[in-house]
Amino acid sequence: MPLKQSFCYPCFLEKDAPVAPLFAKARNIGFDAMELWFRDDTFEELVQSAHNAGLKVASMCGHRSIASGMNNPAEHDRIIAELRESIDIAARLNIPGLITFSGNRIEGMSEEQAIANCVACLERIAPYAEEKGINLNMELLNSKVNHPGYQADSTRFGAEICRRVNSPRVKLLYDIYHMQIMEGDVIRTIQENIQWIGHFHTAGNPGRNEMDDQQELNYRGICHAIRQTGYDGYLAHELIPRGDKIQALEAAYNICSEDGFVR
């Protein structure tokens, strides 16, 4: 069964260009959905434009910010309030998943305490996410290149949080680019942890660019392995094209589609 593919629209939008032509082209390529990051004043208009083009919205950030996250108990009340609002919006607009963040490491805090703090925060909001049918996907990011200090920089850290919360709505956003930098062994890691994964992001490494021969990830093989697990969520492209953005978008779609796998 083909993967449901999405794309992070800001990566493929020319500066100051309207979104409608991009959405129409993406739908023509075969994309099911687009996704965005943090909400702003144009959010509702943007979602409507996607719907007009026949696209769903696969994901958005549920709270701010990447650096100040769930590992800090002082942020919990704020995060819970923001997530509750985002869950309501996601339920109204049929957005299946929200992105959550661990936050950056805190001096003097052990990793075990950071896990416990993230668990405590998620346990407060997981029942509401379950009631509304919305996934809370903690994003795994690299702390080596792009996000120095970020705490959830390993699958082990994120999976342990999911295991302890034990909610069908608490999952991971497994970013293949970020985890290639931190761990490698992508296919085996996905296979062993698929029960905890609610969303995927893609990009070539190094550089976070196209999935071409200048980077090291075999996305045909990775996507074949994901399909074999029975995963039915979204795989979203978050790459930064060096060249033509629409050509890069179409190439990513084809590489990750069932027909793109070379047997």
Q: What is the DSSP string of 56-103?
A: EE-EEE-SS-SSS-TT-GGGHHHHHHHHHHHHHHHHHHT--EEEE---
3-state helix, strand and coil shares in percent for the chain, rounded to the nearest 5? 45, 15, 40
- Note the pLDDT tens digit of each residue in 55-75: 999 999 999 999 999 999 999
pTM assigned to the model: 0.96
Structural tokens at position 133: 């049918």
Domains and CATH numbers, the chain: 4-260 (3.20.20.150)
Distance, in Å, from the CA atom of 166 to the CA atom of 174, rounded to the nearest integer, reads 18
pLDDT score of 261? 47
**7 compared with 37, residue with greater pLDDT:** 7
Which residues, other chains included, contact 65 with Cβ-Cβ below 8 Å and sequence gap of 6+?
Answer: 101
- Note the pLDDT tens digit of each residue in 177-217: 999 999 999 999 999 999 999 999 999 999 999 999 999 99
pLDDT score of 259? 59
Q: Is 216 exposed, middle or buried, given 0-12, 13-18 or 19+ CB atoms closer than 10 A?
A: exposed
Query: Between β-strands 170-175 and 234-237, what pairing exists: parallel, antiparallel or unpaired?
Result: unpaired
Structural tokens at position 32: 């099911």
pLDDT score of 42? 87
Best CA proximity match to 128, nearest among 95, 162, 159, 86: 86
- Note the pLDDT tens digit of each residue in 67-109: 999 999 999 999 999 999 999 999 999 999 999 999 999 999 9
